[in-house]
C-alpha cells in the first residue's frame, strides 16, 4: 500500500514462499477495510502461506467503530468471515477488540458479544480502553471510569475464553500440518496454520514418526483439545523435513 500498489501483497506472497528455507509465511494484522477478494484467495490458495487471517476488527458496533474512525460493523465483518471460510474452510481467524472506548454503550457491548458468538474466532484478544497521549480519543466525550471499563472487559474476556475453547473443540477430527517448535521423544509442540506464534494456542503432537525434528512439518489429526490448545496424533508415514 505504501508503495502505491494496493495489490502488491498478492504478488509478494508467492515470491516469499519460493525462497529457499522458508517453511511457512504467515500474514498478520490485516485491516478489514483492505481485504479484497483477490487477497483472500491468494492467502487461501498459495502453497506455503498459512491459512490464517489476523483481522483487526477492534469492535463490532458500528457507532463505536465510527468514533474510532474505523471501517465496518458486525454485519460487514460476518460477511468477510463468510468469504474467508468459503475460500478456506479450515482457516484460523484471530482478532483483537477494545472494550470501554469513550461513548461505548451497553448495547454496543452486547453487539460485540453477539458478534463474537457468531464469528467463531480461533483466538480473541480483549483489551480495556485507556487514554494514550496524543490520540484523538483522549478528547472524546463519554469516557467511562476505570471500574466500568474493568467490568465490561472481564465480561467480554470470559465470553471469549469460552468461545475459543469451543472453537478448538470443534476442530477435533481435522487434519493439520504442524510446524514443530520443540520435540521431546516421540511428542512435540508446534503450530498448524490455524495458530499463530506467541499469541494463540499451540498443538501438542504425539506418536511422532522417527526422526522428526524441530522445524519439520508433520501431518497429524486433531484428537482433542484443552482450552485453546489442540491435541493431535501424528501420521506415522509423513514428515516434511526442513532444509
Same domain, 151 and 213: no
Same domain, 115 and 204: no
Model pLDDT for residues 156-183, shown as the tens digit of each residue:
999 999 999 999 999 999 999 999 999 9
Record the cell numbers describing residue 228, joined without a space: 485453546
Model pLDDT for residues 19-32, shown as the tens digit of each residue:
988 889 999 999 99
Phi-psi category of residue 215: left, alpha or beta, with phi > 0 → left and psi -120 to 50 → alpha:
left
Model pLDDT for residues 202-224, shown as the tens digit of each residue:
999 999 988 899 999 999 999 99
Same domain, 116 and 149: yes
- Please name the residue that has the C-alpha cell 475459543: 164
pTM of the model: 0.92
Model pLDDT for residues 38-92, shown as the tens digit of each residue:
999 999 999 999 999 999 999 999 999 999 999 999 999 999 999 999 999 999 9
Residue 4 has pLDDT above 80, yes or no: no
**What is the DSSP-derived secondary structure letter of residue 54?**
E
Same domain, 21 and 82: yes
Same domain, 165 and 199: no
Q: What CATH number corresponds to the domain at position 63?
A: 3.80.30.20
Same domain, 212 and 149: no
**What is the DSSP-derived secondary structure letter of residue 184?**
E
Note whether residue 3 is domain-resident: no
- Please name the residue that has the C-alpha cell 497429524: 220
**What is the DSSP-derived secondary structure letter of residue 56?**
-
Same domain, 154 and 220: no
Residue 241 has pLDDT above 80, yes or no: no
Same domain, 23 and 94: yes
Question: DSSP 3-state assignment of 34?
Answer: helix
The residues pairing with 99 across neighbouring beta strands, listed in sequence order, are: 128
The residues pairing with 52 across neighbouring beta strands, listed in sequence order, are: 92
Q: What CATH number corresponds to the domain at position 204?
A: 2.40.50.140
Percent of the chain with pLDDT over 70: 95
Same domain, 195 and 91: no
End-of-domain residue from the set 137, 153, 170: 170
Note whether residue 234 is domain-resident: yes
Note whether residue 212 is domain-resident: yes
End-of-domain residue from the set 152, 170, 188: 170
Note whether residue 54 is domain-resident: yes
The phi and psi torsions of 46 (rounded to 5 degrees) equal -85, 115
175-184 and 187-191 as β-strands: parallel, antiparallel, unpaired? antiparallel
Same domain, 68 and 160: yes
The burial class, CB within 10 Å (0-12 / 13-18 / 19+), for 82 is exposed
* Domains identified in the chain, total number: 2
| pLDDT the model gives residue 143 | 97
Same domain, 202 and 162: no
| pLDDT the model gives residue 7 | 79
| pLDDT the model gives residue 243 | 46
Record the cell numbers describing residue 222, joined without a space: 486433531
End-of-domain residue from the set 132, 155, 170: 170
Note whether residue 2 is domain-resident: no
Give the range of the structural domain holding residue 94, as residue numbers without chain letter. Answer: 8-170
Same domain, 164 and 131: yes
Q: Average per-residue pLDDT in the chain?
A: 94
Amino acid at each position: 500500500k505504501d508503495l502505491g500498489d494496493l495489490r502488491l501483497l498478492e504478488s509478494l506472497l508467492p515470491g516469499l514462499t519460493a525462497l529457499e528455507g522458508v517453511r511457512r509465511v504467515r500474514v498478520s494484522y490485516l485491516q478489514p477495510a483492505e481485504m479484497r477478494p483477490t487477497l483472500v484467495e491468494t492467502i487461501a490458495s498459495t502453497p506455503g502461506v498459512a491459512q490464517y487471517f489476523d483481522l483487526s476488527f477492534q469492535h463490532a458496533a458500528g457507532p463505536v467503530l465510527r468514533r474510532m474512525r474505523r471501517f465496518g460493523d458486525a454485519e460487514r465483518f460476518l460477511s468477510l468471515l463468510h468469504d474467508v471460510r468459503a475460500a478456506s474452510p479450515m482457516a484460523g481467524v484471530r482478532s483483537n477488540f477494545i472494550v470501554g472506548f469513550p461513548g461505548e454503550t451497553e448495547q454496543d457491548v452486547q453487539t460485540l458479544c453477539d458478534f463474537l458468538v457468531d464469528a467463531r474466532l480461533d483466538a480473541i484478544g480483549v483489551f480495556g480502553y485507556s487514554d494514550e497521549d496524543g490520540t484523538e480519543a483522549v478528547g472524546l466525550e463519554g469516557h467511562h471510569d476505570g471500574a466500568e471499563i474493568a467490568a465490561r472487559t472481564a465480561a467480554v474476556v470470559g465470553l471469549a475464553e469460552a468461545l475459543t475453547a469451543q472453537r478448538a473443540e470443534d476442530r477435533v477430527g481435522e487434519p493439520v500440518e504442524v510446524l514443530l517448535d520443540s520435540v521431546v521423544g516421540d511428542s512435540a509442540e508446534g503450530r498448524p496454520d490455524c495458530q499463530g506464534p506467541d499469541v494463540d494456542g499451540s498443538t501438542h503432537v504425539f506418536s511422532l514418526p522417527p526422526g522428526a525434528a524441530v522445524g519439520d512439518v508433520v501431518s497429524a489429526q486433531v484428537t482433542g483439545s484443552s482450552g485453546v490448545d489442540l491435541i493431535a496424533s501424528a501420521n506415522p508415514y509423513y514428515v516434511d523435513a526442513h532444509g
